[in-house]
């Protein structure tokens, strides 16, 4: 255990993770910079973090929010470059811990929490001892990078395992995920779905269920198999595939690339050496100098005092430029340079019509209808033709939010008479209703219809052929 946590190792893997995570958080910070006043200041609608105690971090004014967001952009950039790395990492983490909980709907998400943990851990490590300006500007730039303790990387490894294990337990406790309905609705949702490929996947029978079960299986196995040598690379490749599919099919922000970067903590030095050798063979004209990817820096060494002075001057200039641009544009009219348009008064009759609650049509409560000869959970299989002696199963999936309803299924024989009927009383919020008809030998062969009704209103019709 002592060797596992406190053994010495090269800082290259942590440096790689530092560059990737800081670059992704920098992108997110730049994306949110335009809306800093709305997200984080008293001029916007901040959300209280701990509702029960009414406690929240101090909400800054518009000017302070802009200054803090501009500072976050600068310090994440310098942390990515590895310039005064620990200082940049700690300041970035402090700003993230202050601002993001004030905007639970946009900024404070799972990727923010994981990135914040990584910044704190890397701030306590030697992640800036390799592939950084700090290294290039030091007098020992031509020497191999010094070894660091393994515990920061081990903590990040345990963080990844706990994220997967916690996610798997949460999904197992949610029946809507294992059935595939949660993924299906996410792919169809305008806010979560991300394009034609996800919409196409949601239309394939049983595919959302299979993808959901595969995700749970991966998240359960990863924390245990990743430590076994023969399973390390298969689990890493599975992780890359899972997060690539999530990034393509769903709108998750930087979560997917962030997890792919954090997975790099499971690489070994030999893996980086292999990549270096392949790169050298592929680009023979590009000579890689230095030992074990340490690199030879040709920037003349700079005294720490001058480096700190330049660091402070550029920080002040960048933060000032960010505030100046927001002040000049005055997107929200809080600096007095722009007058925002007043609210439009809605006529009373129009307001009444807008606030009138209208129930949707009964057919809009039904999401999908499936039928088949076999059933398993919330899935049915076998579309026919059907044989005498089988059972026709009808599965109706409704939207998660609906009032109490009465579902009826009516079996219509080829001659037009009613052959059988079933009735279900569905409580509010019940998502699935499964029933069926026994296809006995008294039923003649031919084409049958199934009419589905909600509270007496027809919502769907099915057709199937019965053979002997």
The answer as to whether 174 is a domain residue is yes
The answer as to whether 158 is a domain residue is no
Instruction: Report the length, in residues, of the chain.
Output: 468
**pLDDT tens track for 248-296:** 998 888 999 999 999 999 999 888 888 877 777 666 544 444 444 344 4
Nearest partner of 370 among 203, 201, 249, 210, judged by Cα = 203
The answer as to whether 204 is a domain residue is yes
- Same domain for 309 and 418, yes or no, is no
The answer as to whether 93 is a domain residue is yes
- Same domain for 328 and 366, yes or no, is no
Of 267, 293, 312, the one marking the end of a domain is: 267
Contact (Cβ atoms closer than 8 angstroms) between residue 58 and residue 99: no
Which CATH number is 441's domain given? 2.60.40.1930
**pLDDT tens track for 190-248:** 777 777 888 888 888 888 889 999 999 999 999 999 999 999 999 999 999 999 999 99
**pLDDT tens track for 327-364:** 999 999 899 888 878 888 888 888 888 887 778 889 99
Containing structural domain, residue 307: 8-149+283-342
**pLDDT tens track for 286-326:** 444 444 434 445 566 677 788 899 999 999 999 999 999 99
Q: Per-residue DSSP letters for 115-148?
A: HHHHHHHHHTTTTTSSSSHHHHHSTTTTSPPPPE
The answer as to whether 2 is a domain residue is no
- Same domain for 248 and 172, yes or no, is yes
d(C-alpha 118, C-alpha 110), whole Å: 12
- Same domain for 307 and 370, yes or no, is no
- Same domain for 20 and 144, yes or no, is yes
Q: For residues 32-54, give the mean pLDDT.
A: 78
As for how many domains the chain has, the answer is 3
Burial of 359 (0-12, 13-18, 19+ CB in 10 A): exposed
- Same domain for 114 and 167, yes or no, is no
The answer as to whether 353 is a domain residue is no
- Same domain for 120 and 71, yes or no, is yes
- Same domain for 294 and 422, yes or no, is no
- Same domain for 263 and 293, yes or no, is no
What is the DSSP code (8-state) at residue 193?
B
- Same domain for 308 and 338, yes or no, is yes
- Same domain for 338 and 379, yes or no, is no
The answer as to whether 356 is a domain residue is no
- Same domain for 204 and 322, yes or no, is no
Contact (Cβ atoms closer than 8 angstroms) between residue 40 and residue 99: yes
The answer as to whether 170 is a domain residue is yes
pLDDT for the residue 299: 63
**Please, how many CA atoms are within 13 Å of residue 35, restricted to the half-sphere of its CB?**
14
pLDDT at residue 183 tops 80 = yes
pLDDT for the residue 118: 96
Of 314, 342, 370, the one marking the end of a domain is: 342
Question: What pTM, to 2 d.p., does this model score?
Answer: 0.84
């Amino acid at each position: 255990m002592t060797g596992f946590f406190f053994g010495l190792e090269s800082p290259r893997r942590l440096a790689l993770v530092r560059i990737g995570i800081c670059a992704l958080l920098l992108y997110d910070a730049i994306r949110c910079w335009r809306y800093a006043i709305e997200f984080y200041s008293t001029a916007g609608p901040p959300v209280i973090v701990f509702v029960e105690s009414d406690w929240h971090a101090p909400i800054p004014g518009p000017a302070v929010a802009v200054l803090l967001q501009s500072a976050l952009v600068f310090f994440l950039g310098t942390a990515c470059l590895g310039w005064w790395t620990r200082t940049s990492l700690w300041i970035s983490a402090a700003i993230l811990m202050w601002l993001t909980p004030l905007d639970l709907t946009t900024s404070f998400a799972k990727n923010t929490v994981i990135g914040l943990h990584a910044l704190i851990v890397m701030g306590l490590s030697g992640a800036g001892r390799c592939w950084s300006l700090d290294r290039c500007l030091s007098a020992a730039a031509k020497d191999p990078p010094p070894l660091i303790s393994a515990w920061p990387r081990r903590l990040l490894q345990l963080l990844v395992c706990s994220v997967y294990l916690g996610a798997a337990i949460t999904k197992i406790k949610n029946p809507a995920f294992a059935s595939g309905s949660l993924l299906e609705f996410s792919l169809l949702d305008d806010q979560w779905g991300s394009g034609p490929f996800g919409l196409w996947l949601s239309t394939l029978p049983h595919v959302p269920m299979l993808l959901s079960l595969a995700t749970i299986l991966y998240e359960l196995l990863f924390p245990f198999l990743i430590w076994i040598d023969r399973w390390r690379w298969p689990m890493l490749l599975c992780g890359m595939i899972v997060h690539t599919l999530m990034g393509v099919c769903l709108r998750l922000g930087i979560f997917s690339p962030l997890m792919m970067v954090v997975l790099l903590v499971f690489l070994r030095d030999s893996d980086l050496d292999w990549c270096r050798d392949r790169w050298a063979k592929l680009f023979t004209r590009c000579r890689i100098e230095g030992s074990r990817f340490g690199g030879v820096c040709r920037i003349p060494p700079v005294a720490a005092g001058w480096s700190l002075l330049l660091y402070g001057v550029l920080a002040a200039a960048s933060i000032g430029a960010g505030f100046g641009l927001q002040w000049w544009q005055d997107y929200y009219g809080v600096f007095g340079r722009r007058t925002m348009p007043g609210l439009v008064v809605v006529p009373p009759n129009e307001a009444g019509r807008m606030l009138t609650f209208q129930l949707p049509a009964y057919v809009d409560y039904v999401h999908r209808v499936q039928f088949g000869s076999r059933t398993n959970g919330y899935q049915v299989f076998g579309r026919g033709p059907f044989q005498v002696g089988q059972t026709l199963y009808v599965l109706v999936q409704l939207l998660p939010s609906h009032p109490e309803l009465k579902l009826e299924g009516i079996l219509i024989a080829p001659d037009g008479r009613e052959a059988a009927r079933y009735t279900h009383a569905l409580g509010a919020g019940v998502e699935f209703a499964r029933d069926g008809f026994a296809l006995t030998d008294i039923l003649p062969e031919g084409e049958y219809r199934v009419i589905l009704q909600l509270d007496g209103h027809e919502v769907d019709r099915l057709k199937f052929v019965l053979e002997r």
